[in-house]
Amino acid sequence: RPGAVFAFVRWASNDFGTVISRIDVVRAVAPNEPYATLPFVRPGGDILLKIDGWAKVQQVLAAIDAVEAAGVDPCDAAADHWRHVHNRIAAGQQPRLYTAERHRAWLKRREIEG
């Protein structure tokens, strides 16, 4: 469904353990909307977050858990939050928490923007 946000985890292992771990947070696009291609996602989506490496994937999973702990469905969190999480983790920094207050502000902003 266009506008839906979801996380997509991929990993591969061999006899020695995990060799690749990756998580993407993606927004499903509407027909005729630009998109980036992603394996196993057709036609593609708006990539909000793209992280490689198990330690960083764990940080993203913790960020998803933190959104849930704030009482917000992670799929309903502001797209900007997932971009923020991507940028902070990529820079080796801790992302800010997504709070119920931030979520209310996002909902008001979305309402104003129509």
> How many domains does one find in the chain?
1
Distance CA(50)–CA(98), nearest Å, equals: 18
Query: In a structure prediction context, what are the per-residue pLDDT tens digits for the chain, which is 114 residues long?
Result: 888 999 999 988 888 887 899 999 999 999 899 999 998 888 889 999 999 999 999 999 999 999 999 999 999 999 999 999 999 999 999 999 999 999 999 999 999 997
Q: What is the pLDDT of residue 114?
A: 74
Distance CA(79)–CA(3), nearest Å, equals: 10
Q: What is the pLDDT of residue 16?
A: 84
Contact residues for 30 (Cβ-Cβ < 8 A; gap 6+): 2, 3
Distance CA(28)–CA(42), nearest Å, equals: 9
Show the domain range for 44.
5-113
pTM over 0.75: yes
Residue type, 43: P
Q: What is the pLDDT of residue 41?
A: 87
